[in-house]
Copies of this chain bind each other. A is one copy, B any other.
């Protein structure tokens, strides 16, 4: 007799492994669906279909829709924020900005669903991430803006509003993910090809440099 099959009993490590595997299937599926419809518009059934699992399994692993949404959002936040590391006081301004813009736009092209989910979250009131924006992101931007102000004082950059500068860079880079459909429709080509992405990156980087008086 096979007790494992009959009773469903699994030893601790096996149980953990199965859970890990299934969560790794469910979370990306949920990211896609939440990205497209927002929290309220997304349905557990759609996510289940995208993951090719019965709907009940999602509840077994995540309890409820809200928790699943939180888990997906957590995974995104780190990757959304990490490009800011490129801006450090010691770095060369032009190189640092190139790395920052490059990492932001690479995120848009490689994980458009993640960017869209974040956009939906903010657009729909930032119910979940508002505390994080108000504390952590505000603090982080203040630090990085201070570094830019230092570069301006040292005559390395033209004068500009360094806080609004970040709003501009975020929007110019994220638009390639969030508004990809509009961009494809207007430009007449999908931005999936290497060449198209290189062209977009060159345009944004050149724009950012010009804003800073570096070109």
Q: Are B123 and A164 in contact, with the CB atoms below 8 A?
A: no
- In the complex, 29 of the A-B residue pairs with CB atoms within 8 angstroms, ordered by the A residue number, are A38-B120, A39-B41, A119-B178, A119-B179, A120-B120, A120-B123, A123-B179, A125-B181, A126-B182, A133-B185, A137-B185, A137-B186, A158-B210, A160-B203, A160-B206, A161-B202, A164-B199, A164-B204, A165-B203, A166-B186, A167-B175, A167-B183, A168-B175, A168-B207, A170-B175, A170-B179, A171-B171, A171-B174, A207-B211
A137 contact set on B, CB distance < 8 A: 182, 185-186
- Given A164-B203, A171-B171, the answer on whether A133 and B182 have CB atoms closer than 8 Å is yes
Q: Are B133 and A186 in contact, with the CB atoms below 8 A?
A: yes
A116 to B124, CA, bound (A): 9
Q: Are A186 and B38 in contact, with the CB atoms below 8 A?
A: no
Other-chain residue from B37, B178, B186 in contact with A138 (beta carbon distance below 8 A): B186
The smallest C-beta distance from A193 to any residue of chain B, in angstroms, reads 15
Q: Are A134 and B178 in contact, with the CB atoms below 8 A?
A: no
Chain A interface size, as a band, is 35 or more
A141 contact set on B, CB distance < 8 A: 186
A203 to B160, CA, bound (A): 7
The smallest C-beta distance from A212 to any residue of chain B, in angstroms, reads 8
Q: Are A124 and B41 in contact, with the CB atoms below 8 A?
A: yes
Q: Are A175 and B185 in contact, with the CB atoms below 8 A?
A: no
The smallest C-beta distance from A107 to any residue of chain B, in angstroms, reads 15
Interface presence of A59 (CB below 8 A)? no
Interface presence of A200 (CB below 8 A)? yes
Interface presence of A187 (CB below 8 A)? yes
A41 contact set on B, CB distance < 8 A: 37-41, 124
